[in-house]
Amino acid sequence: MVRKNKDNTITFPCIICDVDIVSSLPLDEKSNNTNDVLDKLMWNDGGVDKFSLNYGSIHDSNVYAIGICDKCLKKLKKDKKILFLYNYMGYYNDDEKNILDEEFTGLENADTKR
C-alpha cells in the first residue's frame, strides 16, 4: 500500500516482491499533485515511475504509478523479462555496456513460440 510516513517521506511497494521502497527526501508540504511526487522524489533501493499502455490494451490511455525494487529489477534483466534500453544520463556500468544490441540480437522470433 502506498503511504505517507510521519517524516513526510513516501513508501511505495515493489510490484514484484512487495518490499517497501521509501523516498530519499521528504515530500514538499505544498505538493499534493501525484505527478509532482513522482517527478521530484528520489527513491532508496528502487524506483517509482509512471507506466502506461498503448492502444490495443483494455487499459490503453491509463497512466499508473508502479514501484520496483533494485533486486527485482536486476533479476528481471537477468531473466530477460525486461529490456534495458538506455541510461538517460549517458552513464553505463560494465553490465549495461552494449546490452541493447546483445538483447535485440538474442531475441527469439515471437512467432515461433505460438
pLDDT tens by residue, 48-95: 988 898 899 999 999 898 999 999 999 998 898 988 777 777 766 655
Q: Which residue has the cell 511526487?
A: 37
CA distances from 11 to 24, 42, 104 (A): 10, 11, 35
Tell me the per-residue pLDDT of 3-59, one tens digit each, with 9 for 90 and over.
888 988 889 999 999 999 998 888 776 666 666 667 778 899 999 988 898 899 999
Q: Residue 14: which domain range?
A: 3-80
How many structural domains are present in the chain? 1
Question: For residues 37 and 101, what is the distance between their CA atoms, to the nearest angstrom?
Answer: 34
Is residue 104 one of the residues assigned to a domain?
Answer: no
| Closest of 80, 29, 74 to residue 47, by C-alpha | 74
Is residue 62 one of the residues assigned to a domain?
Answer: yes
Is residue 99 one of the residues assigned to a domain?
Answer: no
Q: What pLDDT was estimated at residue 35?
A: 65
